[in-house]
Chains A and B, each alone.
Chain A
Amino acid sequence: MKMKMSAQNMDRKGRKHGREIVRSFLVLLTAAFLLASCSEEDDMPEPITVLTSLNEYTSIDETTGVIYVEDLPGSVGNTFASGHVPVFYNLENYEIINPYNDEDILLELPEEQRLSIDWDVAFTSIYNSYVRPNNGSVESNPAYGGEGKGSMIVIDALFDELDLAPSDEEFDAFMAKQSASGWEDFPPGDKGWYFYSLDSHIMSAISGVTIVIKTPEGNYAKMEMSSLYLGSPENPTVNTPAPYFTFRYFLQSNGSRDLRTQ
């Protein structure tokens, strides 16, 4: 929130009196300082998650099958003015399918691949912040004209507690309203996974938002976005490198709607 928002007798009695007042003040002050410096840190120990590394950016919790992606570079080295190359991600192979040049700069995905079902999730638009499914029938979708019949829905639910993918009707109803999810309420009414502070000019992920993806192959996945800033700092600044994706997801590869991970 930018809330711009003395004629006295100098007798001994008086001095003694003053001393008493000050003494009580001292006691109060000491108490205040002590209270203020004692912090309530009796947190419960956090449950331990053991992760197995899959590649430089990816690891898996083998007990649940949840894949953790940290600081995966998107179309880095760009600003709004230069634009961000859409990033295409394959959930099954946990990799970006875009080509790279010799300097490790991410390049545009050739059209035929965009229209293919080689990818499940696209990170598009400003700072690669809008998540889209692979759907060839949506005009604004990078796969427009392609075969993909993927879909998405954004739900206020905890990632760990979302056990079942919604019905096709729910997916369709969501896709009829919006076909991408980025900034909350922008365009107005859209369900987003992050919000952008007009004070700090920083984007923050909204906690308790889960994106459910239906892949073009007909599988369901749940996904939780955490940060687009390198290192996911608690207080990024406008100069913190971005976009670097940090998110986790679970892909149910047997085609069922069962998304339990607990």
Chain B
Amino acid sequence: MNFFREHGSKPGKLGIFISTSLWLIWANVFAADMGGYSLPYESLLEKRISLRLNNATLEEALQALAKEIDCSFSYSNTLLNSKHLVSKNYENTSLKEILTDLLGSRLRRISVSGNTVLLVLVGGMIEGQVLIASDRTPLPFATVRLEGTKRGMATREEGTFELKVPQPGDWTLVISAIGYKTVTKELTISAGQTRSVTVLLEESTTQMEEVIVTGERQIASTVTRTNVPVRDLPMPVMLIDGKQLEMMGSRRLNEVLQEQTGLALTTDPSGASNALGLQVQGFDASYTMIMIDGQPLIGRNAVGILDLSRITVANIDRIEIIKGTSSAMYGSDALAGVVNIITKGHSSTEAQGVASLRYGTNTTLDATVDAGAPILNNKATASVSANYYRTDGFDADPSTPGNTLPPFHSYALQGQVDYRIGGTDLLSTSVRYALRNQRNRYELDRLGRREDVNTEQDLILTSLLRNTIGNKTELTSQYYFTHYRADATNTDLVNDRMINENNFAQSFHRFESFANHQLSERVMLTGGIGGNSEILEASRYGDQRAMNTGFAYAQADYTPHKKLGVLVGARYDAHNIYGWQLSPRLGIRYHVNDMLTLKGSAGTGFKAPSFQQLYLSFTNPTAGYTILGAAVFEEEASRLQAEGEVANLFPVAEQIGDLKAERSTSFNAGFMFSPTNVFTLEVNAFSNDIRNMIFEELVGMKENGSQLFSYRNIEEAFTRGLETNAQWEIIDGLEFSVGYQLLYAKDKGVIEEIEAGEKEVRTSEGRRSVAEASDYFNLSNRSRHMANFKIFYEYQPWQMGASFRANFRGRYGLGDRNYPNNFIDPYDLYVEGFTLLNATLEKHFLDRKLGVQLICDNLLNFSDPLVPNLLGRQFLASLSWRWQNSENKK
């Protein structure tokens, strides 16, 4: 494997060749008393001439000048390597002005010695082009950085770049791009030398890539909102790139995430909702923020799950997952981590698009059109994306009425316009609308046929303005609005009578301004300020409810030494109901050597009480119990008492009132070991402690014999574990990876009670014993072990690719079953460990324009009634067509 094709400088056969050493001595002699262009031999340089150059090389231009002025030039031969042709017309222009114009930024100083003009060039230059390895097409927006300096640039549309090198010496160039493997190149630059390199970037297929998130793609890195390479971040970050998404053949977000190390899907334990949530480092779904292009999605169900199956992966460029608390940047709900879904950006010079169609088992249809084009003379880019998805659903448990995954159809539409103001500023506006309609029909015992219909709608509007002030400060201001609405009905089909109706509408406004400022070579500062306003109107929440939050955050990325990086930041949130929160974090990264990097981070996180925990007022029509939010408890409980509905309140009722935010402290420590370019091992140990957890508590008894519940901060818990990912590229195009997570997640109160001998366990048949520490497995839904194994293979000559992935989820407890001791003991209900196998096979035709993919998910057709979200085996075939309008191509 050779990533580089190098054009090293060879001594020119033409022109004046002066050895580097001699040249240096000259430079030193003259540099002693000369500053800038202020020269004693002005007469020569001030000589005015007229000269016409037509497609001349620099050498020819200098020869022409030498002849005209009757002097000789002395310069580094590397200047002649430039392939630039110049066409210029100078009328009565001084030699100094001509030279400045011709040589531009390469010129550092001009010295005159007698009749010889010495051209002192800058320390050196590296110029080159970045190409995609597979098809040698230029790669724009790749980031090229000179390691140890703040010099760097994004490649142009033609994939070209050039960087000034401050001094002669050994330099390392780091070239990276999203979805490609980062390449480093060591170059020795002699004074005034311009080296030319062609860099080939190979596409990556696994998640542990080192990637720089570029500002040009509008979205800064999720972790820091700066262009810090993922490898330089001290926090555990996982990246699923577009290439991998494509090879996996996944349709919905849940399918992608469940294959990643340490992530598990969770469902509502009551089976009342079929929403699929995400467990990160052992935290429940409600503790992880799900974002699209850096802004949070809303619309969580009663148990805090934001349904991942709502979200299509059709127009996703990549997914970034931060594990561990991120409240220091994102505030509430980012207590366990953040999943940021980044939608596709489009080239600003070409019209391009892709259309795809997938069809398969369960009458699953997934159709997508995604297109973008430059408008307004290439000043702006407009893009549109549309997705339609339908499925017949699946029933993992035929013994219960209805499908465990109901049939649904969904539409998602997105439009975006990016307008470039000047060279660097950007105005971006996007709109996204999604609708999903679920319909579940079932026969309810002696009550006849029933139908549950659930319609969810999402609207997102974003407006963003990014200004670059000087070359050190970037200011971003954005307004974000999202509205989520869910309308659920339960109908008795026999009598055509609506039994239950539930409407829920939530709006969220955010204005936020943040800036990145390069204070010095070693310090990058980030700061932001903003406010959120959330409004809720729902049938179970009484009046319209509102929550307002103001926030400010600051972060410094400090590199005191080439090997050491420190990231420190904090966020302050002020909330109109639960008070204020300060969430600091600190991360440190240390490059021990080229192979080993150590990383560690610590921070605190919080989660504000939800609307439900504050304002719910709900009486279950089938079971009769009532749940009241803590903020409305007093008022609503007195009302119920006055209406004679409350038999008695338990003493604990007096403690219901102000809910505090749930708080966590999170530690992550690990290393990245990469002995060769083709092998990487990452290990991270995590420890999270959470307190003030909000739980439902039984607070009274109703006259009808049923219960009255409210919410209280009662419990403390921890999640600890170890995550390992290893990745190996065996041969070109064949990548192999394994991941593993070990998890201990327990309730501290339960542990204390067990230690005090206060907990009892009962065998399935009913034998009693005092609980021992070893009886406590984990919190419900937490597997001790989870593992995955993936192979991605791409054979370029045949334009074929294949993937094979195995995902193991270890045994986990579902809940108390034979005795209510509030912990998972060996006799409770468990889901036995299972492995899911997925495979894809693809071939591209017509210069990659046409793609055909065969997808098989759940090859073994594994199904378990206890895992309602598992679909049986699914076969799908996919056709895709890519087009590119090269008319505008320069």
By a beta-carbon cutoff of 8 Å, the part of chain A in contact with chain B is 1-8, 10, 14-15, 17-19, 21-22, 25-26, 29, 32-33, 36-37, 39, 76-77, 79-81, 105, 125-126, 156, 158-159, 184, 186-188, 195, 197-202, 204-209, 230-231, 233-242
Name the A residues within 8 Å of B70 (CB-CB).
none
Name the B residues within 8 Å of A15 (CB-CB).
676, 678
Inter-chain contact A8/B835, CB cutoff 8 Å: no
How far does the alpha carbon of A211 sit from the alpha carbon of B423 in the complex, in Å? 82
Partner of B674, one of A1, A6, A238: A6
Report if B764 contacts A (CB, 8 A).
yes
Partner of A80, one of B624, B681, B822: B624
Inter-chain contact B624/A81, CB cutoff 8 Å: yes
Inter-chain contact A207/B766, CB cutoff 8 Å: yes
Name the distance in Å between A159's Cβ and chain B's nearest Cβ.
8
Partner of A195, one of B402, B442, B820, B832: B820
Inter-chain contact A195/B816, CB cutoff 8 Å: yes
Report if B563 contacts A (CB, 8 A).
no
Report if B225 contacts A (CB, 8 A).
no
Name the distance in Å between B759's Cβ and chain A's nearest Cβ.
13
How far does the alpha carbon of A104 sit from the alpha carbon of B139 in the complex, in Å? 75
Inter-chain contact A186/B707, CB cutoff 8 Å: yes
A sample of 8 more A-B contacts (CB under 8 A), given A37-B833, A235-B829, is A3-B747, A3-B782, A4-B695, A6-B182, A8-B594, A15-B676, A37-B835, A239-B444
Inter-chain contact B270/A238, CB cutoff 8 Å: yes
Partner of B740, one of A32, A125, A158: A32
Inter-chain contact A79/B820, CB cutoff 8 Å: no
Per-residue contact bits, chain B 761-797, to A (CB 8 Å; 1 contact, 0 not) = 0111111100000000001111001010100000000
Name the distance in Å between B525's Cβ and chain A's nearest Cβ.
27
Name the B residues within 8 Å of A209 (CB-CB).
766
Evaluate whether A6 and B677 lie within 8 angstroms (CB atoms) in the complex, with A80-B706, A235-B865 already known. yes
Evaluate whether A80 and B595 lie within 8 angstroms (CB atoms) in the complex, with A1-B824, A8-B677, A199-B270 already known. no
9 contacts between A and B (CB under 8 A): A7-B186, A10-B676, A17-B679, A18-B676, A81-B621, A158-B766, A202-B815, A237-B272, A238-B622
Nearest A residue (CB) for B781: A3
Nearest B residue (CB) for A188: B650
Nearest B residue (CB) for A231: B399
Inter-chain contact B1/A10, CB cutoff 8 Å: yes
Per-residue contact bits, chain B 694-706, to A (CB 8 Å; 1 contact, 0 not) = 1110100100011
Report if B329 contacts A (CB, 8 A).
no
How far does the alpha carbon of A126 sit from the alpha carbon of B702 in the complex, in Å? 12
Evaluate whether A39 and B832 lie within 8 angstroms (CB atoms) in the complex, with A1-B822, A29-B738 already known. yes
Evaluate whether A17 and B676 lie within 8 angstroms (CB atoms) in the complex, with A1-B824, A80-B623, A126-B705 already known. yes
Inter-chain contact B399/A14, CB cutoff 8 Å: no
| Interface stretch (choices B279-287, B465-473, B551-559) | B279-287
Name the B residues within 8 Å of A3 (CB-CB).
284, 717, 745, 747, 779-782
Q: Which 6 A-B pairs have the closest CB atoms?
A: A208-B766, A241-B445, A77-B446, A237-B271, A14-B676, A18-B679
How far does the alpha carbon of A3 sit from the alpha carbon of B782 in the complex, in Å? 9
Name the A residues within 8 Å of B270 (CB-CB).
199-202, 237-238
By a beta-carbon cutoff of 8 Å, the part of chain B in contact with chain A is 1-2, 172, 182, 184, 186, 210, 231, 269-272, 282-284, 286-287, 303-304, 397, 399-402, 442, 444-447, 594-595, 620-624, 650, 662, 674-681, 690, 693-696, 698, 701, 705-707, 709, 717, 719, 726, 728, 730, 736, 738, 740, 745, 747, 762-768, 779-782, 785, 787, 789, 808, 810, 814-820, 822-824, 827, 829, 832-833, 835, 865-866
Inter-chain contact A8/B674, CB cutoff 8 Å: yes
Partner of A234, one of B271, B824, B829: B829
Inter-chain contact B446/A81, CB cutoff 8 Å: no
Determine the main DSSP class of B at the interface with A: loop
Name the A residues within 8 Å of B594 (CB-CB).
6-8
Name the A residues within 8 Å of B271 (CB-CB).
200, 237-239
Inter-chain contact A208/B768, CB cutoff 8 Å: yes
Name the distance in Å between B20's Cβ and chain A's nearest Cβ.
25
Inter-chain contact B284/A206, CB cutoff 8 Å: no
How far does the alpha carbon of A236 sit from the alpha carbon of B594 in the complex, in Å? 56
Inter-chain contact A7/B676, CB cutoff 8 Å: no
Name the A residues within 8 Å of B210 (CB-CB).
6
Inter-chain contact A76/B815, CB cutoff 8 Å: no
Inter-chain contact B717/A5, CB cutoff 8 Å: yes
Name the B residues within 8 Å of A234 (CB-CB).
817, 829, 866
Name the B residues within 8 Å of A1 (CB-CB).
747, 779-780, 815-816, 822-824
How far does the alpha carbon of A26 sit from the alpha carbon of B738 in the complex, in Å? 9
How far does the alpha carbon of A37 sit from the alpha carbon of B819 in the complex, in Å? 28
Name the A residues within 8 Å of B283 (CB-CB).
5
Inter-chain contact B738/A25, CB cutoff 8 Å: yes
How far does the alpha carbon of A238 sit from the alpha carbon of B444 in the complex, in Å? 11
Inter-chain contact B622/A79, CB cutoff 8 Å: yes
How far does the alpha carbon of A187 sit from the alpha carbon of B872 in the complex, in Å? 44
Name the distance in Å between A246's Cβ and chain B's nearest Cβ.
15
How far does the alpha carbon of A61 sit from the alpha carbon of B779 in the complex, in Å? 40
Inter-chain contact B303/A76, CB cutoff 8 Å: no
Inter-chain contact A187/B701, CB cutoff 8 Å: yes
Name the distance in Å between B410's Cβ and chain A's nearest Cβ.
24
How far does the alpha carbon of A209 sit from the alpha carbon of B835 in the complex, in Å? 37
Partner of B595, one of A8, A125, A208: A8
Name the A residues within 8 Å of B817 (CB-CB).
204, 234
Name the distance in Å between B686's Cβ and chain A's nearest Cβ.
15
Evaluate whether A17 and B400 lie within 8 angstroms (CB atoms) in the complex, with A1-B824, A2-B303, A4-B695 already known. no
Name the distance in Å between A124's Cβ and chain B's nearest Cβ.
9
Inter-chain contact B676/A205, CB cutoff 8 Å: no
How far does the alpha carbon of A184 sit from the alpha carbon of B821 in the complex, in Å? 11
Evaluate whether A198 and B808 lie within 8 angstroms (CB atoms) in the complex, with A1-B815, A6-B677, A126-B623 already known. no
Evaluate whether A207 and B650 lie within 8 angstroms (CB atoms) in the complex, with A32-B785, A186-B698, A239-B271 already known. no
Name the distance in Å between A74's Cβ and chain B's nearest Cβ.
11
Partner of A197, one of B287, B675, B816, B865: B816
Name the distance in Å between B722's Cβ and chain A's nearest Cβ.
13
Partner of A239, one of B400, B620, B762: B400
Evaluate whether A207 and B623 lie within 8 angstroms (CB atoms) in the complex, with A22-B728, A188-B650, A200-B815 already known. no
Name the distance in Å between B503's Cβ and chain A's nearest Cβ.
20
Evaluate whether A184 and B304 lie within 8 angstroms (CB atoms) in the complex, with A5-B287, A201-B270 already known. no
Inter-chain contact B624/A18, CB cutoff 8 Å: no
Name the distance in Å between A247's Cβ and chain B's nearest Cβ.
14
How far does the alpha carbon of A241 sit from the alpha carbon of B820 in the complex, in Å? 23
How far does the alpha carbon of A186 sit from the alpha carbon of B706 in the complex, in Å? 9
How far does the alpha carbon of A3 sit from the alpha carbon of B814 in the complex, in Å? 11
Name the distance in Å between B767's Cβ and chain A's nearest Cβ.
6
Inter-chain contact A158/B767, CB cutoff 8 Å: yes
Evaluate whether A199 and B782 lie within 8 angstroms (CB atoms) in the complex, with A36-B808, A239-B402 already known. no
Name the B residues within 8 Å of A7 (CB-CB).
172, 184, 186, 594
How far does the alpha carbon of A19 sit from the alpha carbon of B675 in the complex, in Å? 11
Inter-chain contact A29/B787, CB cutoff 8 Å: yes
How far does the alpha carbon of A80 sit from the alpha carbon of B151 in the complex, in Å? 70
Inter-chain contact B231/A6, CB cutoff 8 Å: yes
Name the B residues within 8 Å of A159 (CB-CB).
766
Inter-chain contact B808/A2, CB cutoff 8 Å: no
Nearest A residue (CB) for B271: A237
How far does the alpha carbon of A158 sit from the alpha carbon of B763 in the complex, in Å? 11
Inter-chain contact A21/B675, CB cutoff 8 Å: yes
Name the B residues within 8 Å of A19 (CB-CB).
730
Nearest A residue (CB) for B866: A235
Name the distance in Å between B731's Cβ and chain A's nearest Cβ.
10
Name the A residues within 8 Å of B679 (CB-CB).
17-18, 21-22
Name the distance in Å between A100's Cβ and chain B's nearest Cβ.
13
Nearest B residue (CB) for A73: B446
Inter-chain contact A5/B678, CB cutoff 8 Å: no
Name the B residues within 8 Å of A204 (CB-CB).
816-818, 820
Inter-chain contact B678/A207, CB cutoff 8 Å: no
Inter-chain contact A22/B726, CB cutoff 8 Å: yes
Name the A residues within 8 Å of B623 (CB-CB).
80, 126, 201
